[in-house]
Amino acid sequence: MSDSLHRIDLASLTHVNIESLVSEALHSQQLWPFLSFLAGAGVTFVAALLPHWWQRRQKKKSIRAALAAEVRAISAIVAYRDYLDGLQRHIASIEREQHIHLYQVRIARDYDIVFRSNCDKIGLLPADLSESVVRFYYLVSSAVVDLRLLNEANVDFKLRLPYRLDAAEGSLFFHQQLLALSRQIVTEGNALAQRLRQRQTDITTQ
């Protein structure tokens, strides 16, 4: 019983001592300068970070806006400049005539200049969005490689051989795969542009 009372008294004494020490510290003249120093350091720290935060925020906005514009432009070119329709007509002609003529289309050099200029800043975007951006441009790059191959193989017949473009069956398969890839680019590009614009609107209204 006495041990129990002793522990209770000791606990009470310790609690009283702590309260006393805190009370003395709060009324000590040495504490307030220290607290003032901490407050000043905190304000300085926040003031130093604020311009960096604002610059990073503005950079995110500009990257989203620029990428959204370029993605929309690429999707529009693929969808509306007779590219898909022309490719479908070419496929139909291969099926009908069993020829080995290759589809020809001009490709702009700087179609992805925004992405290439900002590829080191894609990490500023949310992870899911940056992944979608990289995926979209990978699809576009794959289609461009195929189209350039068709252009070059139209001049150099030997380039047709590894892809069986020297036979109607192989040419038909290659062009059908290219058509499927192009449709996927349009679908994913439209969805990506909408997500980029949505995120841009969310940031602007914050």
- Residue 77 domain-assigned (yes or no): yes
Q: Which two tokens stand for residue 184?
A: 């996927």
Q: Is the pLDDT of residue 54 over 60?
A: no
Using 50, 70 and 90 to split pLDDT, how confident is the model at 8? very low
- Residue 26 domain-assigned (yes or no): no
Provide the 3-class DSSP secondary structure of residue 105: coil
Sign of CA dihedral 185, 180, 84, 87: positive
Using 50, 70 and 90 to split pLDDT, how confident is the model at 82? confident
| Boundaries of domain holding 96 | 60-205
Q: Taking residues 17-37, report their average pLDDT.
A: 59
Using 50, 70 and 90 to split pLDDT, how confident is the model at 39? low
- Residue 2 domain-assigned (yes or no): no
- Residue 13 domain-assigned (yes or no): no
- Residue 54 domain-assigned (yes or no): no
- Residue 165 domain-assigned (yes or no): yes
Q: Give the pLDDT confidence score for residue 124 in this predicted structure.
A: 87
Q: Give the pLDDT confidence score for residue 80 in this predicted structure.
A: 81
Q: What's the predicted TM-score (pTM) here?
A: 0.71
Cα separation, 195 vs 184, in Å, equals: 16
CB 59 within 8 A of CB 121: yes
- Residue 129 domain-assigned (yes or no): yes
Q: Give the pLDDT confidence score for residue 205 in this predicted structure.
A: 47
Q: pLDDT by residue (tens digit) across 132-162?
A: 999 999 999 999 999 999 999 999 999 999 9
- Residue 28 domain-assigned (yes or no): no
Q: pLDDT by residue (tens digit) across 88-120?
A: 999 999 999 999 999 999 888 889 999 999 988
Cα separation, 103 vs 91, in Å, equals: 9
Cα separation, 61 vs 197, in Å, equals: 10
**What stretches of the chain show up as alpha helix (H) in DSSP?**
2-27, 31-80, 83-97, 113-118, 127-153, 168-205
Q: Is the pLDDT of residue 165 over 90?
A: yes
- Domain count of the fold of the chain: 1
Q: Give the pLDDT confidence score for residue 206 in this predicted structure.
A: 47
CB 91 within 8 A of CB 176: yes
